[in-house]
Amino acid sequence: MPQVLPVLAGQILYYIESNTRSATIIGIVGAGGIGLQLAEQIRVLEWQKVSTLILMILIAVAVIDFISSRLRFAIIGRAGEARH
C-alpha cells in the first residue's frame, strides 16, 4: 500500500483538477453552472461580467492546483520517508 498510495492520490487529485476545468466548457454548451453564466454574459456583451467570471475561474483553478500540489508533496514526502 505505501508504494501505491502516492500514485492513487496523484490520479485522484488530477481528476479533480481536470473536472474543474472541464466543468466550465461543459457549462458553456448548456449543462449549467458557471460556464452557462459565462456564455450568457458573452451573448449579451457584458464584458465586465465576462472578465470577472473568467478571473473567478482562473483563481479557482489556481487554488485547486496549489492545494493539489501541496497534498501530492505531503503524500509523496511521507511515502519517501517510509522507504528509507
pLDDT in tens, 18-43: 888 888 888 888 788 888 889 999 99
Domain residue limits, the chain: 5-83
The answer, as to whether pTM is greater than 0.75, is no
Cell 452557462 maps to which residue?
36
Nearest of 64, 52, 53, 75 to residue 18 by alpha carbon = 64
Which triple of cell numbers denotes residue 39?
456564455
